[in-house]
Amino acid sequence: MSNIFYRHQIDLSQASRFLHNDQALLIAISGEGWATELLFEDIKDNNVDHYGEIWAQALPLLPVEGGTLTGCLSDLQGAFNINSFKYYDNSPIQGELDDFEKIGFAKVWLNLLELLSIPVNPGRVYAVKDWIDADDSAGSWGAEQADYEGLENSVVVYNDLFVSSSELSAVMGYTIEEVNKLMPWLSALPFQTPININTASVEILNSLSGNYGPAFIEAVLSGRPFSNVNDFYNQINENLALWDPIKPGVGRANLIWPQHLISVNSDFFKLYLEAEIGEAKMELISLLHRTKNAGINIISRDIRLVPKILPSSKPMSEIEALFSKKDEVSKTDQQNFQETNIIQSACSMMEFK
């Protein structure tokens, strides 16, 4: 009888756990539906995205039957899209690098590497470009399949777009340590995308600043959110004295930061959700593509079942880290944040995991 009773309790426990897992998954999928509706309503109202909008605010801890749901949205175009190097299929890289003033994706990339104390040379650009282009020819700075076969751990060059930004560690010349440094500021989107100047981090703005450094960053932070790209150009022309002294209303900002590089709106977002029902905790991370005509497309969905009982040394999950009451920011950092008055996404902490 004891054995029967014991097995009965195990069966009940397993059935309850399976039920809670299914419920948590359904709640998380419902939260995803909420996020897609929120993004679609936002684009119908305006074509500008910034961290003062409703979509950028974290979903509060919502009570659901038997548990809770919480989450947030992150703008992926505020980061550097490494698939933007596809742009160079029809445009010479060296011409851009040799231009003293004009900023492009290659220069932004090298500036970001330098900012993070990662060695900088033109090969860093050409190696990434050769990884995603369709041909097998490599210039003096690049690397194609023949170059990778000579490595101790040879890899196959994909010759297509990056699926994940972590794939960069397979590119010749990049180490895992360097890629880990870069990850918080990277994205890997299905095609070349401009950088949203309204949501770009200070690190990305620094990489965009070119020869103008802190003056450019200060001009952007004081002027955003920009309602359109022309407002951005006017702000930069005014603050950096780039107006033409002879032709009224004509400036150089649009020549230095071309429109294929800069935008004020975004099409790609990452959704973080956590649903907790009974003994089940489910994490859902979705990559969303928003278009005004076709609505919201879910490009990828990563579902993780987080064990309820774990050793105390377990690092916090992404959602737990965001909503933890423990304040790990020093008073000096808080003061600096207040002085700069930078509005950030509710998901910004998760990008630095």
Structure tokens at 95: 């011409």
Q: Give, in order, the Cα–Cα distances in Å from 52 to each of 65, 171, 285.
A: 31, 37, 22
Q: Which residue has the tokens 């040394």?
A: 313
The DSSP string of 28-97 is HHHHHHHHHHHHHHHHHH-S---TTSGGGSPEEEEEETTEEEEEEEEEGGGSEEGGGGGGGGSS-HHHHH
Are 222 and 250 within 8 A, CB to CB? no
Q: What is the pLDDT of residue 142?
A: 80
Q: What is the pLDDT of residue 5?
A: 66
d(C-alpha 219, C-alpha 330), whole Å: 27
- Look at the alpha carbons of 301, 305, 311, 312 in this order and tell me if their dihedral is positive or negative: positive
pLDDT in tens, 247-283: 888 899 999 999 999 999 999 999 999 988 887 888 9
Are 104 and 92 within 8 A, CB to CB? no
Q: How confident is the model at residue 93 (pLDDT cuts 50, 70, 90)?
A: confident
What amino acid occupies position 127?
A
pLDDT in tens, 104-125: 999 999 999 999 999 998 889 9
Are 303 and 284 within 8 A, CB to CB? yes
- What residues does each domain of the chain span? 2-77+267-352, 80-263
User: pTM to 2 decimals?
Assistant: 0.81
Q: Which residue has the tokens 């593509």?
A: 289
Q: How confident is the model at residue 157 (pLDDT cuts 50, 70, 90)?
A: confident
Q: Which fold has domain 2-77+267-352?
A: Pantoate--beta-alanine Ligase; Chain: A,domain 2 (3.30.1300)
Distance of CA 252 to the CA centre of its chain: 29
**Among 9-18, 36-45, 283-292, 298-307, the range of highest mean pLDDT:** 283-292
The CATH homologous superfamily to which domain 80-263 belongs is EpsJ-like (1.10.40.60)
The DSSP string of 3-23 is HHHHHHHHHHHHHHHHHHHHH
Is there a shared CATH topology between the 2-77+267-352 domain and the 80-263 domain? no
Query: Helix H segments across the chain?
Result: 2-45, 93-98, 105-115, 123-132, 145-149, 176-182, 202-208, 213-223, 229-239, 253-256, 318-323, 331-340
